[in-house]
Amino acid sequence: MRNYVIKRDTPKTTLINYREELNDEQYAVVSAGAGPILVIAGAGSGKTRTVTYRVARLIEAGISPSRIMLVTFTNRAAREMLGRVESLVKADVRRVWGGTFHSLANRLLRRHAVSLGYANNYSILDSEDVKDFIDSCIEEAAIDTKSRRFPKGEVLREMFSYATNTDTPLDQLIAAKYPHFEMLTAQIRRVDQLYQSRKLERNAMDYDDLLLNWKRLMIEKPEIAAIYQDQFHHVLVDEYQDTNTLQADIVDLTAAKHRNLMVVGDDAQSIFGWRGANFANIFQFQERYRDAQIFRLETNYRSTPEILMLANASISYNRRQFPKNLQAVRPSRSQSPALIPARDAEQQAAFIASRVLELRDEGVSLGDMAVLYRSHFHAMEVQLELTRRGIPYDVRSGVRFFEQAHIKDVTSYLRLVVNPRDELAWKRVIKLIPKIGNATASRLWEKLAGHEEPLALARSEDILQGISRGAAVGWREFAGLIAELTAPETVNQPGKQIELVLERGYNEFLQANYENSEAREEDLRQLATFAVRFESTEAFLGELALINTERFSPPGATVGEDVVSGGDEDERLVLSSTHQAKGLEWRVVFLVWAADGRFPSGRSLREPEGEEEERRLFYVALTRAQDELYVCYPLIDTDRSRQTVLQRPSRFVTEVPRTLFEIWNLDEEAPSLEALDSEEPKLIN
């Protein structure tokens, strides 16, 4: 057998003046030779531009587009990069294999699924399909999900997915992350076995199967693996710090022959460990590729020098990192990041609303400003204050805090105590009782609605006529809770009432129904703390209603991480969790609740590497700001027993030199009585 190498002409001239269009750091990456390459790309350093020009240079050097694989974390990013490449090299680049891991896996498996026992016309199950599929497997396994709360399909979906993507045995994962389900391990394993076998029987794959089967092709089918290992001379991976174990294995297997693998990412922005991303992938790249060239992009085009000095100082406290020092291209604005100690959460929210309005008057669009937070419940007071002041906003971290399902569930218990004729609250709560569905809930509501004292009827045995024995057990527990909620010592203590609802079974409901049950329980604990400041349950519910009744536009359906509008103007202030803000930027950023135990979160600090990931998250928040940065925290808070608690500033604030901040002392202007006198008197009916 003779091997024949097809020689390609190297172009004598190029269309792109790389020296002129790139800075020195970017040019070094783009012009690097063959072999493995690790690019540590700091925030705002032109990472996307660098990857784009690298692909363009490969094509100009004579590499066929079909021999290039570009892996990104969104298909949109791949399209934008390749569109830019096409405009640079004036050539058709559609043959480049560009896209997400899942889209590329699907492209490959449509050709070769038969070799793994599937037909090539397999179906792809989305998240909702997977949940329904798993629910049917639970039913097929004949598991009594009511005798003990068994995890719903949504929880098992996340459990199975995490195990697959992190290569963790299911038993080990349950013991570590879901200890409350440990006694159900054998039944969960049975459901998983049914789920895996049924997918193959029905010629269907979920998103994780796409990756797992890509890896299987590369390991179990060497003749197929050889085709693609030979084809892809160059593999480029963007956002490498966010890859999980399975994705890193796929990359290594695909690039195994030519070893022209370029991975780009920022270890300082690795913030998704909680969903399976493996920080070790980027950190250990040099160990897997001993001959790797290492490049750093440290020239920042986004932020002022003062903001970058703070970000550099903060991240320097992480022990496990690639040291880097971001340098600003932009000139100084002679304005250091502001540290705002507020009296309490209400004053923190009032400051933000006031400063936003000032900046708006100075010409900064609302859309150029963002309020960032570590956890969704940190935005409670801010949302209320913005609503009071008529400032339109978008929530980018999911639905509004007070409109989340678990918040509405728990507040429905309080609503029916305050107003026993509240049909919606009764029906919502009744359907939370095991073995009660829509029809039974409607029947029970009709009995309650026709009674003079619905709460008294709910606590009596008369209500139980005509419902199943299983449902009656749950109803009696519910009746006991109603009795406690209406007892003299709790009837007008909304904080205590919320705690009771949690302790009397709702926390178990969260664990069985939501994969992020811990975060939802924390939301409710904080809601209970927030509720303590109100003199009555009615006053608390009235405040919550404010955020809905003073809407600027009608409520709409919300799915997943869709944006929920707080106003119908084109301009809207952005409210976002820091996780959701990654990759984005604003002229002005307000970071709220920068207090120890909040940011970093107490729960994260219990994890072995939690503090360092939290500090990376803090770094991401800081580096979203272009011109102005305000780091805010309340000096005092109120716990659930109405005791005043002193708040310490975040350790991420106190560990950096205080000279990096300008400290603002807040004061509140007294209302003008003269202004009131000048107004026309108003009649209040």
Return the active site residues.
47-48, 238-239, 269, 624
The DSSP call for residue 256 is T
Structure tokens belonging to residue 206: 């979920």
Which CB contacts under 8 angstroms, 24+ apart, belong to 176-180? 178/151, 180/511
Spatial separation of the C-alpha atoms in residues 581 and 273, rounded to whole Å = 16
DSSP class per residue in 648-684: PBPHHHHTS-GGGSEE-----PPPPHHHHHHSPP---
Which H helix or E strand runs over 158? helix 153-166
Distances in Å between the alpha carbon of 259 and those of 41, 57, 246, 256, 432?
Answer: 21, 18, 18, 5, 55
From 374, 386, 275, 403, select the one nearest 576 (Cα to Cα).
374
Spatial separation of the C-alpha atoms in residues 83 and 87, rounded to whole Å: 6
Structure tokens at 553: 């536009």
Three-state DSSP at 40 gives strand
Instruction: For residue 198, count CB atoms less than 10 angstroms from its CB and return exposed for 0-12, middle for 13-18, buried for 19 or more.
Output: middle
The Cα–Cα gap between 624 and 43 comes to: 8
Judge contact between 359 and 541, C-beta under 8 A. Answer: no
> Is 564 in contact with 399 (CB distance < 8 Å)?
yes
DSSP assignment, residue 189? Answer: H
CA distance 405 to 289: 47
